Amino acid sequence: MKLDPITMEVVINRLREVAATMEHALYHTGYSPILRESQDGTAGITGAEGRAVIVSGGLQYHSLPYYHAVQSVHARFGESIRAGDSFIVNDPYKGGNPHVPDMVAVTPVFFDGRIIAHTVSVAHKSDMGGIVPGSSGAASREIYHDGLLLPPLRYQTPEGVNESVEDIIRNNSRVPDIVIGDLRGQVGCTRLGATRLQALAEEYGVDTVCATMSEWLAITGRRLRREFAGWGDGTAEAEGFLDHDGADIATPVRIHVRATKRGDTLVLDFSGSGPQTRGPVNVLAPTAQACALLAVIAATDPDIPMNAGLLDAVEFVMPPGTVVSPRHPATMNHYFPSAHLTYNCVLSALGKLHFERAVAPSGLGTGGLAIGYAQSRSGKRAVQYELMVTALGGTSSRDGASIVLPMNHFTPSTPVEILETEYPVMVRRYDLWRDSAGAGEFRGGIGHVREYQLLTDCMLTARTSNHKFGAWGLLGGKGPPTSHTYIERDDTGCEELGPLAQREARLGSVLRLEQSGGAGYGPPLKRQIERVLEDVLNGYVSTEAARGDYGVCIDPGTLQVDAAKTQALRKPA
């Protein structure tokens, strides 16, 4: 049917409102800090076939997994699906979710006896069993090590929740009340969205709502093709490395992309990436593709919505058996550093094709921290699960943002007050890390240092990244220092941990995380002297780095610029 522009605009904004309401309910019913504080989850709407139309929340790379979850539900239950049913799945190979802790909830939306859409949510669960608290073990070597694997299951009907399913989950989780609380809120948010979507179809007509969703995807594809049409044709490549996969510590893990732009379409070929790994750094193709699409949006027009319509303009080549498209039963619990590296590689390649929107890479020290306690401050068993935050890279006009999780710009760190209230831990330091940003005409964002003192014995799993291979500068900019993780004990002293490490930590141990900043854009000697001085005064850059990296001589006592020495340092060779 033909839609007039005003109706189209009204209905699409009402759809956004439905998704935002779902997102609000998801976070505000969350039991765990990883959901209610760090907002590690999304909620949104798909069409009848599962293509994501609207995704609300900071983790927009969840959008392509939505499709796989919907398809898996229909493949398993088919004609038996009824109005009022809600389904869950967390097996990544069946649901497309990034890793086992990410549960997917799917509620088909019925109108006049037929499915017109689905409301979907992907959200992290604190513990789904497995070999370590948090279900994401550094020593995982296959998907079965990562915890309870649920195929698509009918979780709720009009008669209520399937308690047998909940009993199985409870029996496999170290923190069952937290997990079930989060799960009920998550499924509830999709049921709320379904009710709102049915009311919208009643108000505007089901054909209008369905046509709007279809047209919104088509508009997204057309907008992206128009952007590509304004570029010159060409091919560019980029690659980056993880230190290792945790199993073979002598072999770096390569992610490589070849971007070819022809006319109004783009082909992203990952055939040059390394083979799938035994360790947990693999990333499933739907997540890798979604991260690549986020880079495409950043390199074209950030106002283009993140939905399945982008696939009308971008083609992927991802051979099965690679680190970005692993075969079963490969584990991928530590997928995020690989996904983030995929994003930065695509962004770097596209920057060579479209110079005006080139962006330096973000800091690569991403990952997750999981600490299992026999008793929390409430007396119950607990799992502290946190996301590792870094900083963004510089651009042609701005410095990178500091202490921001790349690709998840709205996913904050867990507040110190929450950690210390709920867990037997004291955060001794959470501070900017001086000289942690890559130098450049526009420097990267500043990294940070975070120190935890453990107030009881616990099981620690630190899954960080890029302690050896850091981010790279752009157009003469410099890369930041690499990230580091240390644990200090009274009896054995200080030990530097690798990117994937598990330890039985004792009372009084101190964990120190040094998270790298973003990479720099442009030659550091072109940075304005006034901005270098401001960085020194703010504590972002030392006087030594101001001189060595930027050619600006600042007296450490008076903090005044020595103009003559600076001019000599900056004089062309």
pLDDT along the chain (573 residues), means of 10: 91 98 97 94 98 95 97 98 98 98 98 97 97 95 97 98 98 98 98 98 97 98 98 97 96 98 98 98 98 96 96 98 98 96 97 93 93 90 93 95 82 87 96 97 97 96 94 96 93 90 94 96 97 98 97 95 93 75
Contact of 58 with 409, CB cutoff 8 Å: yes
Q: Could you tell me which residues come within 8 angstroms of residue 81 by beta carbon, excluding any fewer than 6 positions away?
A: 73, 74, 108, 115
Contact of 308 with 52, CB cutoff 8 Å: yes
Report phi then psi at 548, rounded to 5. -70, -40
Quote the pLDDT of residue 573. 64
HSE at residue 12, side-chain half, CA atoms within 13 A, is: 19
Q: Return d(Cα 561, Cα 553) in angstroms, integer.
A: 6
Quote the pLDDT of residue 409. 66
Helix (H) or strand (E) holding 64: helix 63-77
First to last CA, the chain: 67
Quote the pLDDT of residue 347. 96
Q: What angle do CA 558, 562, 567 make, to 5 degrees?
A: 160
Quote the pLDDT of residue 491. 73
Helices marked H in 240-398: 285-299, 335-353
Contact of 236 with 352, CB cutoff 8 Å: yes
Q: Return d(Cα 137, Cα 411) in angstroms, integer.
A: 22
Contact of 459 with 502, CB cutoff 8 Å: yes
Q: Return d(Cα 559, Cα 542) in angstroms, integer.
A: 11
Please state, in angstroms and as integers, the Cα–Cα distance from residue 119 to each residue in 30, 54, 430, following that order. Answer: 18, 10, 38
Q: Return d(Cα 270, Cα 248) in angstroms, integer.
A: 22
Quote the pLDDT of residue 492. 74
SS3 of residue 566 by DSSP: helix
Please state, in angstroms and as integers, the Cα–Cα distance from residue 420 to each residue in 217, 374, 378, following that order. Answer: 44, 16, 12
Q: Return d(Cα 550, Cα 531) in angstroms, integer.
A: 10
Q: Return d(Cα 447, Cα 403) in angstroms, integer.
A: 6
Alpha-carbon torsion angle 268, 232, 394, 476, nearest 10: 100
Quote the pLDDT of residue 183. 98
Q: Return d(Cα 366, Cα 403) in angstroms, integer.
A: 11
Q: Return d(Cα 276, Cα 444) in angstroms, integer.
A: 31
SS3 of residue 45 by DSSP: strand
